[in-house]
Amino acid sequence: MNLIKLDAIDSTNTYLKQLVARIQPADYTVVLADHQTGGRGQMGTVWEAEPGKNLTFSLYKKVLQLETDRQFYISMVISLAVYDVLQSFSIPGVKIKWPNDILSANYKVGGILIENILRNGRITAAIIGVGLNLNQTEFKGLVSASSLKKITGAHYVREEVLYKITDRVRYYVPWVANKEFEKIRELYESRLFRKDKPSTFKDTEGNLFMGFIKGVDEDGRLKVLLEDEILKTFELKEITLLY
């Protein structure tokens, strides 16, 4: 692993994208920042973290000609890698909240943002951004956020967690390369937050409705069984899971 450490940067994903535009980085190049001033989540949401207390990094991973309609499988294996590492630390109640938030005991402790690099209509590389709350204990105005330290009371070493996640990514990457898509999706779905439980959702117009999360399709859309026994799929940000 080629590790680049930075004191402060607007976004490790942006830094890595700019690096890719200039040179061809080595596979598994990682950019690790003490402080990320402009961290981003899905659909432009902001990821805020106290300097030096959390793990914020981006990983460059070469991908061998993956079709664009299979891109969510990259997201699934990264979520599974982070999930496994938290399990190894005995973090309680770890779940993946669709599409790729990481929860512990119903609190958000991490998030993932993946930006793919395309060539001739196929994915050739991915820039994988991971934010994981390790030792921060105050989250002003964020009632649903927490950290590993706040949940367990233990202190976590960033580099140790980083290396564990990277090792677990190496474990899962061959699943994508070997096109073991059904195996990936089944494992991801088994880790999903509120799968097969009655849940309340809100759509983009503010309407509330009930449903059961059944899994995801190959494009990464969430499959929800509605009250009238109709199975419907939803794109990212089309619905919000409330509880």
* 35: three-class secondary structure by DSSP: strand
Residue 230 and residue 204 share a domain: yes
Q: In the structure, what pLDDT confidence band is assigned to residue 215 with cuts at 50, 70 and 90? A: very high
Q: Minimum mean pLDDT among 28-42, 57-71, 111-125, 158-172: which range?
A: 28-42
CATH number, domain with residue 235: 2.30.30.100
Q: In the structure, what pLDDT confidence band is assigned to residue 43 with cuts at 50, 70 and 90? A: very low
Q: In the structure, what pLDDT confidence band is assigned to residue 39 with cuts at 50, 70 and 90? A: low
- Per DSSP, what are the bridge partners of residue 102? 96, 110
Residue 213 and residue 155 share a domain: no
Note down the domain range covering 176.
2-190
Does pLDDT of 55 surpass 60?
yes
Residue 31 and residue 119 share a domain: yes
Q: How many domains does the chain have?
A: 2
What the block records as the tokens of 4 is 């680049």
Residue 228 and residue 171 share a domain: no
Distances (CA, A) of 213 to 82, 196, 231, 235: 21, 5, 10, 13
Q: What are phi and psi of 107, to 5 degrees?
A: -105, 145
Residue 145 and residue 31 share a domain: yes
CATH number, domain with residue 91: 3.30.930.10
Residue 94 and residue 157 share a domain: yes
What is the amino acid identity at position 234? F
Residue 112 and residue 82 share a domain: yes
Q: Minimum mean pLDDT among 30-39, 191-200, 206-215, 218-227: which range?
A: 30-39
Among 190, 206, 226, residue at a domain's last position: 190
Residue 202 and residue 177 share a domain: no
What is the amino acid identity at position 124? T
Helix H or strand E encompassing 152: helix 148-152
**Angstrom distance (rounded) from CA 146 to CA 153:** 12
- Per DSSP, what are the bridge partners of residue 8? 35
**Top-confidence residue, 132 or 242:** 132
Residue 139 and residue 20 share a domain: yes
What is the amino acid identity at position 162? L
Q: Minimum mean pLDDT among 4-18, 36-50, 75-89: which range?
A: 36-50
pLDDT given for residue 44 in this prediction? 47
**Angstrom distance (rounded) from CA 55 to CA 233:** 33
Q: What are phi and psi of 44, to 5 degrees?
A: 85, 5
Residue 207 and residue 135 share a domain: no
pLDDT tens, residue by residue, 184-207 = 999 999 999 999 999 999 999 999
**Angstrom distance (rounded) from CA 66 to CA 233:** 23
**Angstrom distance (rounded) from CA 198 to CA 9:** 41
Does pLDDT of 40 surpass 70?
no
pLDDT tens, residue by residue, 142-171 = 889 999 999 999 999 999 999 999 999 999
Q: What are phi and psi of 66, to 5 degrees?
A: -85, 135
pLDDT given for residue 243 in this prediction? 84
Residue 215 and residue 98 share a domain: no
Q: What are phi and psi of 180, to 5 degrees?
A: -90, 60
Q: In the structure, what pLDDT confidence band is assigned to residue 42 with cuts at 50, 70 and 90? A: very low
Residue 93 and residue 30 share a domain: yes
